[in-house]
Structure 1
Amino acid sequence: MRAPLPLLALGALALLALTGCVANNPAGTGDGLTVDSSADGCSVSASEVAAGTTSFSVTNSGDQVTEFYLLGDDGLRIVGEAENIGPGLTRDLVVQLAEGSYFTACKPGMVGDGIGKAAFTVTPSESGTVVNADLDKQVETANTNYSSYVKDQIAQLVTGTDSFAAAYVAGDFDTARTLYAATRMHWERVETVAESFGDLDPKLDLREADLEEGQDWTGWHAIEKDLWPAEAEAGFAAYSAEKRASLAEQLVVDTATLNDNVQGLSFTLSQQTNGAIGLLDEVASGKVTGEEEFWSHTDLWDFQANIDGATVLYAGVRDILVEEDADLAVSLDSEFASLQQLLDAQRVGDGFTLYTDLEPAEIRAFADQVNALAEPLNQLTATLVL
């Protein structure tokens, strides 16, 4: 558990995000594209535009409320979104886009992972058009897009938790173990936000080592111990069916409560920059030491997710930082890339090396690079806010 990130739980920024679309025509103009979101597809009239202002006219031809998203090149960061589009309705999304790679995405029903996902390219503009340099507008956009990202990650956490809990209660432990780390990544990407909601954080993510006398132990790590009994201490007794059902039910309920709580969130620039710093602190305090996933040893999944979240936060404010301190942006670009390179070296299929299989030199390399990133990252808030 880390110090909570303060939040402005104000307004009704009904935002969300992620996955699915099929792009059609190879090129479009910057003054208007169309999107057809149906029950089983999402078709964009072009997969390429020139840099500058672009509008997407999104029509819902399906039978459920839908959403449309433009995602950054990592497939996670939300650049723009149009939401709550009812059947038969059309809604416009207008965004200012810099040259680069993006993804288009749709989510019929506004739940789950959505359908498909397609590359979208922004080419240089012949007129030299660039993203609006108005600082206030850039800050507003960054804050709004991060709010969308948080809500999407928690929505996906809800979906994944439901599947995980069902497998656990049914006694399908192989499936539950497979879902464990991948589902928790949605939590870890926005962990500093989730921690701000009082007792929800310990109810969902408390480690056994942090239990206070008489405190009930619930959440992911209580179930983790039962799923990896061979790693538990001698004499550990597997949970009863009743206890498993109770833990699973509580996990689902608490995750749903978290989802409800994030719907009214808005952010400030300092909350974003401090959030990135907080996520790196999470890496340094638990993931790089192997203390977070004490029995599953899936710490590198959490590590990657914390870095995903920090990278999304940094990417959201990077254009602003370039204007304020280009040298700091160059340093952060380099240190983030070096840390990601170390993580990529430990990838195994869709996952990572178990923490217990890392060599001491590899753990030291991670710790050193986390420290190398922490130094410039800790300057981010003062550079942009003060």
Structure 2
Amino acid sequence: MRAARLSVVTAVATAAALTAVTGCTEKSSAEGDDRVIEVTATDTACETSKKEISAGHVELAIENKGSKVTEVYVLFPDDRVVTERENIGPGTKQKVTAEVKAGDYKIACKPGMKGAGIRQALKVTGAGAAAQRDPRLDKAVAAYRAYAQAQADETLPKVETFVKAVKAGDVAAAKKAYAPSRIGWERTEPVAESFGDIDPKVDVREDGLEPGQKWTGWHRLEKALWKDGKIGTAEKALADQLITDLKDWQSRVGKAEITPTSMANGAKELLDEVATGKVTGEEERYSHTDLVDFKANVEGAQQSYDLLKPVAQENDKALTAELDKQFAALNTLLDDYRADKNSYDFTSYDKVADADRKKLSDAVNALAEPLSKLAAAVAK
């Protein structure tokens, strides 16, 4: 779960989509490409250059002119997430390529990365280019959907092991089961986040709570295990709730809206996850199991990339060469923190020196920059 703070890769272009924002002001259409929607975010407004566009690939050009870190979401009418871009720093610009079908959407800008955001409706008309997609991309989407479902299916037994230990009051066993129970979630988190309501229940950190929101999920139990060192009646009830919420996630994965560009943008979002939570040590602040999450995020991003690579390589060979290089470099660096390259027994992150954290951060940045271009390469 991303926190509302500036990431080490904030200024790097990335993420997602198209659509609409209720309560924003409209500005005149930008010069040039009619497939571009300009979004200008401030602390109090969200200006968009178009309120209607035809279906197909569209570029969202975002500029944050406000003083707060912001995020921009593309939402279905029921608030499911089409795609998103978080951690857009003041004074920065980002470009995102997305694919949308005919229908009604919303673009939501969230100054301070809190609340429902400033919204304006966008209408997408016609069949557009989406119906003419390369068959290889349809195959990639199908394979990624199967991967996401498999990760959810494999997660539940691991979570049940974790919950069983919590309910037995066995702190040591619960600590041992905690990090493995999160791997499948971390690999496919953009899919989970697309539903809108599940992520805040299972993966929110204490500083990410909205006013009045009850703290539930993994990190609430993490605090009980590592900081409090005890399991009470309330924690046992929260463990049962975690199972319920993750079964809901498991049942919904097959219904997720997935496109080649959402896969590419999701890969970049996973790198942002690393930058905002894992490299900083904030994600697993009590257990210090950040490197397990880190590796799972990278694996999930690489899975999307590998499935899209045949088309991306044909369209931009230099880009895929750079991505291959940077994925390999980051994975090699992560291997330094585990004795067995096939295990998830990583060094506790509180034992990683600041200089080594800087190396990890630099490697993430080196991968994030070319990865932000993957969606555009796929959409050519």
TM-score class, shorter? 0.5 to 0.7
Verify the 8 A CA contact 1:5 1:196 in the aligned structure 2.
no
**Structure 2 unaligned regions, length at least 5:** 4-14, 19-131
Pick aligned residue for 1:163 from 141, 161, 164 = 161
Pick aligned residue for 2:362 from 352, 356, 368 = 368
Aligned to 2:222: 224
Q: Deviation string for 1:221-274 (max 9, x for gaps)?
A: 000011112xxxxxx58452x212210110000000111111223521111111
Q: Percent identity?
A: 44
Deviation at 1:213? 3.4
Superposed, 1:201-280 pairs within 5 Å as 201-229=199-227, 238-240=230-232, 242-280=233-271
1:354 pairs with 2:354: no
Aligned to 1:286: 277
Query: Hey, what's the Cα distance between the residues in 1 that align with 2:17 and 2:160?
Result: 28
TM-score by length of 2: 0.63
TM-score by length of 1: 0.63
Verify the 8 A CA contact 2:171 2:229 in the aligned structure 1.
no
Query: Hey, what's the Cα distance between the residues in 1 that align with 2:16 and 2:189?
Result: 9
Q: Deviation string for 1:332-370 (max 9, x for gaps)?
A: 000000000110011145311111100111100001111
Aligned to 1:185: 183
Query: Hey, what's the Cα distance between the residues in 2 that align with 1:216 and 1:347?
Result: 36
Verify the 8 A CA contact 1:5 1:195 in the aligned structure 2.
no
- Structure 2 counterpart of 1:221, which letter? H
Q: Secondary structure at the match of 1:263?
A: helix
1:138 pairs with 2:136: yes
Structure 1 residues 6 and 170: alpha-carbon distance in aligned structure 2, compared to 1, 3 A threshold: farther
1:331 pairs with 2:322: yes
Q: Secondary structure at the match of 1:319?
A: helix
Q: Secondary structure at the match of 1:347?
A: coil
Deviation at 1:160? 1.0
**Structure 1 unaligned regions, length at least 5:** 8-133, 230-235
Pick aligned residue for 1:314 from 297, 305, 321 = 305
Query: Hey, what's the Cα distance between the residues in 1 that align with 2:179 and 2:191?
Result: 19
Structure 1 residues 237 and 216: alpha-carbon distance in aligned structure 2, compared to 1, 3 A threshold: farther
Aligned residues: 253
Query: Hey, what's the Cα distance between the residues in 2 that align with 1:221 and 1:135?
Result: 40
Query: Hey, what's the Cα distance between the residues in 1 that align with 2:253 and 2:16?
Result: 13
Q: Deviation string for 1:149-193 (max 9, x for gaps)?
A: 000001111111111101110012222111111110111000111
> Which structure has the larger Rg over C-alpha atoms?
1
Verify the 8 A CA contact 1:322 1:329 in the aligned structure 2.
yes
Superposed, 1:15-94 pairs within 5 Å as none
1:384 pairs with 2:378: yes
Verify the 8 A CA contact 2:281 2:288 in the aligned structure 1.
yes
Verify the 8 A CA contact 1:298 1:354 in the aligned structure 2.
yes
Aligned to 1:63: none
Verify the 8 A CA contact 1:147 1:266 in the aligned structure 2.
no
Verify the 8 A CA contact 2:145 2:258 in the aligned structure 1.
yes
Aligned to 2:60: none
